[in-house]
Structure 1
Amino acid sequence: MHDPIHITALSTSSALGHNRQDVWNSYKSRGHLLTSVDGNWVAQLSDTATKELNTIQQESQYRTLDKTAHLALQCSRAAFKESGWNGDFNFGINIGSSRGATGLFEQYYDDFKQLKKVSPLSSPSTTLGNISSWVAHDLKSRGPVISHSITCSTALHAILNGMAWIKGGLSTKFMAGGAEAPLTPFTIGQMKALKIYSKENGSYPCRALDMTKMQNTMVLSEAAGMVCLEGGQPNHSLGQIIGFGYATEPLAHGASLSSNAQCIQDAMAMALGEFKPDDIDVVITHTPGTIKGDLAEYEAIKSIFKNKVPALTTNKWQVGHSLGASGLLSIEMGLLMLEHQEFLEVPFLDQEPPSKLSKIMVNAVGFGGNAVSLLLSKAQ
């Protein structure tokens, strides 16, 4: 990929924390951040992230919004502050969510069942588009404003779209990411209906990348993340995107993935471009902690990298699966490893850590057989 896209700012909010030092410390703790609530394993925001979010939720103009939008506002403000874009409001925004305003939607529906009427705000406050729209309002952006849902690869698709606008000469700056607040009874119930939710009682409720597990162990988490993207040679860069790939495979069932994850294979091959498989030091996998999903991605990686599989890691064993926002947490994980030159291991794999960290591939895959792979490197 010629002319890499730079990540000039990044902010996330999750069980890991809300600033990169706290996030790195959480990764280094080597313990999971999952808790049991009402008998279900979940990953809730850290105390510091929750405290700041509560302040946003009390702002009068945002009180009627869903937590998904509040999370997007929290991270977009922090990313914008770091970006140095102050005074330049000609930037685009693309924020996605797999589920959208699920908490608020459930609340309005419960009210409708009991009262047989709904609030006039029920429609505008639960549409997917209101997430990016309110962020644009808050930051006073004058660029294009886009929202979308492409299931669990949503955040990486948002980055792809921002890259396309920049490379197409339609915008010089773009904010992209995802927000998800899925810790609601109905959403957890849906995952349980798929028989993929964790019932583990051992040391690790989510066993993502454990190829020996005997049951599904996916755990939902709430999170959001934003990156600021620029082309050219910006004054500051956290890292750069030097390759990208995307693919969709035909499926017999909307919640399934082929045993060799052809869409992930195609996305990784496209992201490699002119690079050799040997050039990749780490793959941050999507692996949600399900038996079939984890194994399919592992088989896809082996198909692409043959007998020289890079070091593999994921953060889902530690922080759960934040659906449409999860790819952004993986991007942050990759950038932190590049910055600290330290590999973050998973407790289930016996593998040799890489001797250097130069190029890291990040995968995301979602229901419907769609996949995205991004290749990260340190800023030059």
Structure 2
Amino acid sequence: MLKEPISIVAISSLSALGSTPKSIWETYQSSDHLLQERVLNGKKVWVGELPHSEKEAIGKLRESDSKYKDLDESVLFSIYTSRKVLKQTTWCSDAAERPSFGINIGSSRGATALFEAFHDEFKNTGKVSTLTSPTTTLGNISSWVAHDLQTAGPVISHSITCSTALHALLNGVAWLQSGMADKFLVGGSEAPLTSFTVAQMQALKIYSNAKRTYPCSAMDVKKKSNTMVLGEGAAMACLERGTPSNSLAKIIGIGYATELLEHNVSLSLDAKCFQDSMKMAMSDVSPHEIDAIVMHSPGTIKGDLSEIEAVHRTFGKQVPFMTTNKWKIGHTFGASGMLSIEMACLMLHHQLAIPVPFVTYSSVPKRFERILVNAVGFGGNAVSVLLQKA
């Protein structure tokens, strides 16, 4: 358990769900997925794209400042979402001083589209543009957010593949618990809908080519093929120590674990890393006090089954309600963990479950007090975060 609770006092996201709390919650109430077919590499593939209105907003952001016109969408997503989440707080209310809070925003892939474009330029001409290096480095993301918000405080970027956003949250918690910071902005951003990135997932034979009602069958234990679909988006949360009056949810436990590698992308059949991270996050909290788990569940056969097996081994006969959002919006890589945190916060706030429509549940909770959120990166780098209703 943590020395003291850490509160999420604001959260904001950008994904196929939209970007406002009202529209996101309303969209979660529908059993329809938000995945679309797009032509990449000469073939139709499923993707989770931003709505047209949000794409226009990102375009306006790019045009609003000459320094922003050369930035990758992963950076623009971060700036856009960070601006929105800060409006929910008083962190920037004193115009006389630069706001002082930490920033830790990560990404699995970083400046994907720009990197591919610059590499094509190099192959074709043997030269690269002047801004190639500074606009494709991963440190771009948090640094540009700090510039945009004019903040004073530690600025950190990192990549731990699909568990990146939750590792950012862990890092923010550590800074707050140590007393080295009073406030931290944490999250993840991903703009992976490019030909090369999708081709990489197809090469792993995990990408969906399903012609079915739900192209991504995350948590479907009976599926016979891999059904992962990539989505774009970003999600940010503002963390503070204690339980202030504007707390949306309390972080009362964190867990992390890494498996010994047997393969570059492997998880054991019972996802030992998840067993360890969930037990660490729960600490003194009894398994029967957990009302729900927002699963990582990428839509792959092995990934889904191993995490579900880890839950059964950890909870025994008292398995909580399990859900995920990847069937609806796709896998947003480094941003996915924070989108799952947002989903958990919404269930805690509205006291209503968000089920997976094609999963059969023996029961669905009528109230939510504590929700566990999971994420894992390539090679078994797992994180679990235990949230409690504020």
Asked if Structure 1 and Structure 2 have the same fold, meaning a TM-score greater than 0.5 normalized by the shorter chain, the answer is: yes
Q: CA deviation at 1:371?
A: 0.3
Q: Classify the secondary structure of the residue corresponding to 2:246.
A: coil
Q: Classify the secondary structure of the residue corresponding to 2:133.
A: coil
Which one of 280, 297, 304 corresponds to residue 287 of structure 1?
Answer: 297
Q: Who is 1:224 aligned against?
A: 234
- Return the letter of the residue paired with 1:75: T
Residue 364, structure 1, aligned to residue 375, structure 2? yes
Q: Who is 2:11 aligned against?
A: 10
Q: Work out whether residues 254 and 369 of structure 1, in 8 Å CA contact, stay in contact via their aligned partners in 2.
A: no
Work out the CA distance in 2 between the residues paired with 1:341 and 1:223: 25
Q: CA deviation at 1:48?
A: 2.7
- Return the letter of the residue paired with 1:52: A
CA RMSD of aligned residues (A): 0.9
Q: How many residues align?
A: 379
Which one of 72, 84, 91 corresponds to residue 78 of structure 2?
Answer: 72
Q: CA-to-partner distance for each residue in 1:15-61, whole Å, 9 max, x for gaps?
A: 00101111111111211000000100000012232222111111211
Residue 81, structure 1, aligned to residue 87, structure 2? yes
Work out the CA distance in 2 between the residues paired with 1:353 and 1:232: 30
Q: Work out whether residues 34 and 43 of structure 1, in 8 Å CA contact, stay in contact via their aligned partners in 2.
A: yes
| TM-score where L is the length of structure 1 | 0.98
Residues 347-356 or 76-85, more deviating: 347-356
- Return the letter of the residue paired with 2:108: S
Work out the CA distance in 2 between the residues paired with 1:239 and 1:369: 27
Work out the CA distance in 2 between the residues paired with 1:181 and 1:353: 34
Q: Who is 1:42 aligned against?
A: 47
Q: Mind listing any 5+ residue stretches in structure 1 that lack a counterpart?
A: none
Work out the CA distance in 2 between the residues paired with 1:315 and 1:63: 32
Q: CA-to-partner distance for each residue in 1:138-176, whole Å, 9 max, x for gaps?
A: 001100000000000000000000000000000000000
Q: Who is 1:192 aligned against?
A: 202
Q: Who is 2:60 aligned against?
A: 55
Work out the CA distance in 1 between the residues paired with 2:327 and 2:297: 9
Q: CA deviation at 1:356?
A: 1.6
- Return the letter of the residue paired with 2:193: L
Work out the CA distance in 1 between the residues paired with 2:364 and 2:288: 14
Residue 140, structure 1, aligned to residue 150, structure 2? yes
Q: Who is 2:107 aligned against?
A: 97
Q: CA-to-partner distance for each residue in 1:190-232, whole Å, 9 max, x for gaps?
A: 0000000001111000000000000000000001000000003
Residue 25, structure 1, aligned to residue 26, structure 2? yes
Which one of 155, 158, 173 corresponds to residue 168 of structure 2?
Answer: 158
Percent identical among aligned pairs is 55
Which one of 329, 333, 351 corresponds to residue 319 of structure 1?
Answer: 329
Work out the CA distance in 1 between the residues paired with 2:309 and 2:358: 17
Q: Work out whether residues 176 and 184 of structure 2, in 8 Å CA contact, stay in contact via their aligned partners in 1.
A: yes
Q: Classify the secondary structure of the residue corresponding to 1:201.
A: coil
- Return the letter of the residue paired with 2:368: L
Q: CA deviation at 1:291?
A: 0.2
- Return the letter of the residue paired with 1:145: V
Work out the CA distance in 1 between the residues paired with 2:69 and 2:355: 40
Q: CA deviation at 1:103?
A: 0.5
Runs of 4+ in 1 over 2 A off after TM superposition: 232-235
- Return the letter of the residue paired with 1:53: I
Work out the CA distance in 1 between the residues paired with 2:18 and 2:226: 26
Q: CA-to-partner distance for each residue in 1:275-319, whole Å, 9 max, x for gaps?
A: 000000000100000000000000000000001100110000011
